[in-house]
Structure 1
């Protein structure tokens, strides 16, 4: 399938995001303003890249629909409009040198953040609706179908982590009576936003950071369907992967592990612990996940049966 044949409003949105990423990249080089501890144009750049990937992914997922295509088109169009609206606010606030997220400093800032919250909620609902359509539709290859469905379900969970960030922190709740917080919500847990962070992503290195689970979980939308596609390619070289049962088991193990990893990262963040400095409990949980995943993959590759089923990828070739 050619790129131009995918959902046009979403592809248009992706193209606009590429232009915004270029513009924000230039801003990173030319504008030395700092906002919440990072360059003022870093957030528009990261969001533009993320939305580009998201828009193209949703456009491809819509191409898998055999039924309710008209409904799918409207879902994609609403998502495209929501993403464009959000980016207008993010870019506009960056240009003003104002914080786009959690900002309650002025009525305008609070209104803009409320609008952003509404756009994200709308995009989540539309993505969930698309997930339902693909859950009830029969797709050609069971392993690829599971990869798409796991990707949607884990991705929706990862997106939901963003709603946790909008909740007021304890410090914001404990203000003197009658005093309103200027910031409501935070990425970080146990520390203030804007402190030391990992390169580029800026996840806190001194406290918990919900963006880690949000990012990892959200991108299951791409990672798990990509796994299904790679298994199809690998089946041409490795005979064991030509068994539909083997590929299906691998996707079940990988999808489950991915979901648990997302939950583990959120749990770690909510405990106020930096992803860069896991404690013994976190390491034990991660070790248990790795052992369970290794055991699951051993099970997945064992005793495939006697009938080989040709892989039928649901991932269309995009030029």
Structure 2
């Protein structure tokens, strides 16, 4: 190995070590901020890997797709949502005891949710929109009630925080609240799908690349858009606040509201497309 190659290898190892240290520090900080949600996020991150292996090893197919695909997607989504809520929750100006109670409700509820989804996959049956037996219908009902309770708890936490003074830049605070707001809307769209026992109206409309969801007649797209407001809008607020401190953004809070308005238009537009065939 020549000196140039050795230098490249050294820089690569240094970069990997720096990334590992940053990840370890971030995980430790998340655990400090919210032990409950950090634990639930970690459990679901592990389950994500386990379920992904199940996709490869288990040939069982449910509703035209690998049985373990849905648990894998849900485990990843729950891990991301819990990590985000755990990281942001400390900035909400509410009583710490209230925040801890909400974390327990959310954590227990989402653990129950992934356990039921994984359990149905292990049985080789669908977890959603499945009323084939009394047991399947009961599991679907429990999942529906659970997600409503979790969503209401998160919404209540944001409402409590809304009128109080945040300890972060106003733009970041606005991003957090608006992100939770659109997240709640997206979560209730998921509850609506359970209530009507359907996620899609079969049409010949084009599909969304990668995920394969229908552009029209499919509520999953709006559900996805709403849930990920929890990451996008707080990040927008954080970046707007950082830009303001550096003199790059003159009206950071207004910027956040503009992005949130545009995001809301996309969310409501996708929701309208999702229900359009049912209204015709």
Give yes or no for TM over 0.5: yes
8 A contact 1:231–1:247 mirrored in 2: yes
Indicate the SS of the match to 1:105: coil
TM-score between both structures, scaled by the size of structure 2: 0.83
For the aligned residue pairs, the C-alpha RMSD in angstroms reads: 2.2
For 2:103 and 2:186, the matched residues in 1 are separated by 19
1:96 aligns with 2:123: yes
8 A contact 2:187–2:227 mirrored in 1: yes
Counterpart of 2:5 in structure 1 is none
Moved over 4 A (4+): 195-200
Q: Which runs of 5+ in 2 are unaligned?
A: 1-25
8 A contact 1:62–1:73 mirrored in 2: no
Deviations 1:231-290 (A, max 9, x none): 2344466x341x3xx1111111101111111000000111139xxxxxxxxxxxxxxxxx
8 A contact 2:219–2:271 mirrored in 1: yes
Shift of residue 25 of structure 1? 0.8
Q: Which runs of 5+ in 1 are unaligned?
A: 169-184, 274-319
1:118 aligns with 2:145: yes
Which structure is higher in helix share?
2
8 A contact 2:93–2:161 mirrored in 1: no
Q: In structure 1, which of residues 18, 26, 36 is the aligned counterpart of residue 45 of structure 2? A: 18
Counterpart of 1:201 in structure 2 is 211
Paired positions, count = 250
For 1:31 and 1:200, the matched residues in 2 are separated by 22
Shift of residue 229 of structure 1? 1.5
TM-score between both structures, scaled by the size of structure 1: 0.73
Q: In structure 1, which of residues 243, 247, 251 is the aligned counterpart of residue 252 of structure 2? A: 247
Distance 1:67 1:161, change over 3 A: closer
Counterpart of 2:200 in structure 1 is 188
8 A contact 1:189–1:271 mirrored in 2: no
Deviations 1:105-129 (A, max 9, x none): 0011011111111110110111111
1:143 aligns with 2:171: yes
Shift of residue 35 of structure 1? 1.1
Deviations 1:9-55 (A, max 9, x none): 11111011011100111011112222112111110011001001111
For 1:270 and 1:235, the matched residues in 2 are separated by 40
Higher RCO (C-alpha 8 Å, min separation 6): 1
Q: In structure 2, which of residues 248, 251, 261 is the aligned counterpart of residue 256 of structure 1? A: 261
